[in-house]
């Protein structure tokens, strides 16, 4: 028993369907990559504030930034809808500007992740802001970046 059709016409149809499905899947994946037209920037990469200050993050492309919201940095702008705050990895701060309602669990001194694009001034213009879920949860990439910064700070202090 063969899984391929017995007639030549049916085999050609099956091959055409396989090629079309593969081609469509590949084109959708390629269109979602940063800098690739149509859905440009559908994929975003995580950067810590220190990475952004060091110039490792691309401007005008979707990125994720995470860390701790700096105490006293949250302020409402004059339009009444836009909020600005700073996120830190305990080494550097990055200003985030978000137009909309912040999540209920968003607090200064707590973890947050913002998704958006860096403007010319180095401010992240966010289209999504996520707050940590509970007291014990922190996104793994944020936790790793913070631990790395603490480790680097400890090494510098010992030298």
Mean pLDDT by runs of 10 across the 159 residues of the chain is: 79 93 88 56 76 86 89 92 92 94 88 90 91 65 74 48
pLDDT at 85: 96
Chain center to CA of 123? 15
pLDDT at 151: 60
Q: Break the chain into its structural domains and give their ranges.
A: 1-42, 45-158
> Among 102, 106, 110, 93, which Cα is nearest to 126's?
102
pLDDT at 141: 75
Distance set, CA 105 to CA 71, 110, 112, 130, 132 (Å): 15, 9, 9, 9, 7
The CATH number of 45-158, from 2.40.50.140, 3.10.20.600, 3.30.9.10, 3.40.50.720, is: 2.40.50.140
- pTM, entire model: 0.62
Asked whether the beta carbons of 64 and 44 are under 8 A apart, the reply is yes
pLDDT at 35: 52
């Amino acid at each position: 028993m063969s899984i391929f059709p017995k007639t030549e016409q049916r085999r050609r149809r099956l091959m055409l369907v396989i090629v079309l499905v593969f081609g469509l899947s590949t084109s959708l994946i390629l269109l979602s990559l940063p800098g690739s037209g149509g859905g440009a920037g559908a994929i975003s990469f995580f950067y810590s504030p220190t990475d952004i200050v060091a110039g490792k993050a691309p401007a005008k492309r979707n990125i994720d930034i995470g860390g701790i919201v700096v105490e006293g940095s949250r302020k409402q702008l004059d339009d009444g809808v836009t909020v600005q705050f700073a996120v830190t990895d305990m080494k550097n701060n990055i200003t985030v500007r978000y137009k909309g309602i912040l999540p209920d669990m968003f607090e200064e001194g707590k973890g947050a992740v913002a998704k958006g694009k860096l403007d010319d001034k180095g401010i992240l213009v966010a289209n999504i802001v996520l707050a940590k879920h509970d007291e014990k949860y922190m996104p793994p990439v944020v936790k790793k970046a913070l631990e790395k910064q603490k480790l680097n700070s400890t090494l510098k202090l010992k030298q």
